[in-house]
Structure 1
Amino acid sequence: MTIAISRCFVAANDIDAALTFYRDLLGLDVLNDVGQEDFRWITLAASGQDGVAVVLSNYLADAPADAEALRGLLTKGALGTVHFRSGDLDGLFARLVEAGVEVLEKPTDQFWGVRDCAVRDPSGNVVRIDQA
């Protein structure tokens, strides 16, 4: 039996700001953009990495109270972390800083053997980027 990563969902308070971050700053390609009433799902992928996608969504929950609680956790970066890797970590980091992205950790050689950085996307999600 084999198993592979297919997609990962990333919650977004502002779907257009999230799209700008993941598409324009990180360089992901938009595969699909679907709206239904007030909700929107945008599927993005890295060029050359077929079968693995990030899905941005502004849908948090059906119940308004649950959605509000999740929105608060999202803003604090408590709903999870997305990890990427880049062949030019320092160049990508410089582009993110220039764009005003909130930096959590500058590119650092970690004790576990990787060089990476950490930033927040516009919704508050933690995004870590490893040097490939």
Structure 2
Amino acid sequence: MIKGLGIATVWTLDQERTKNFFKDKLGFEIRSDLSMGDTCWVTVGAKDQPDVDLALMSLDGPVMDPDSAEALKALVSKGILGAAVFRTDDCRGDYETFRARGVEFVQEPKERPYGIEAIFRDDNGNWYSLTERNEELDLSKDWAN
């Protein structure tokens, strides 16, 4: 049986720059930064969620043929790919903090049926939702008690 998600991929044009984006601007931990021959294995994660990592995958790594790398690079550079939804308890507060650190937001916090959401891009163009769920949809709460 699957027990949950452990690692998700974020495509990056520059692993070092993206690692610093997640660490310095979003406050993530560096979980691994290992040289593996011609490539590096870099993972980051939210401090309060130690069991889920984001693998910052370079487009020039061994798993990507040149044509696919170019196609993916074009999509990443255009900002076509949505990478993740990050949960927060304070969307408006985090929006102000991250904006002050230089994070590019394409949508300021807005009320949605599921809560408050802002949308930002990383240093590659990947977009992310920063979401504060409303109580009806907050599945992390223990409703049995």
Fold similarity call, TM over 0.5: yes
1:26 CA displacement:
1.2
Unaligned runs of at least 5 residues, structure 1: none
Verify the 8 A CA contact 1:84 1:127 in the aligned structure 2. Answer: yes
Partner AA of 1:62 in structure 2: M
1:18 CA displacement:
1.0
1:10 CA displacement:
0.3
What TM-score does the superposition give when structure 1 sets the normalisation length?
A: 0.86
Partner AA of 1:46 in structure 2: A
In structure 2, do the counterparts of structure 1 residues 99 and 48 end up closer, same or farther at CA, with 3 Å as the change threshold?
closer
Which structure has the larger Rg?
2
Percent identical pairs in the alignment equals: 28
Aligned length: 131
Q: Does 1:87 align with 2:85?
A: no
Farther off after superposition, 65-74 or 92-101:
92-101
1:124 CA displacement:
0.5
Verify the 8 A CA contact 2:25 2:102 in the aligned structure 1. Answer: no
Verify the 8 A CA contact 1:39 1:57 in the aligned structure 2. Answer: no
What TM-score does the superposition give when structure 2 sets the normalisation length?
A: 0.79
Farther off after superposition, 84-93 or 33-42:
33-42
Between 1 and 2, higher relative CO (CA 8 Å, sep ≥ 6) is seen in 1
1:91 CA displacement:
2.4
Unaligned runs of at least 5 residues, structure 2: 134-145
- Matched residue, 2:98: 96
Cα-Cα RMSD:
1.9
| Secondary structure at 2:129 match in 1 | strand
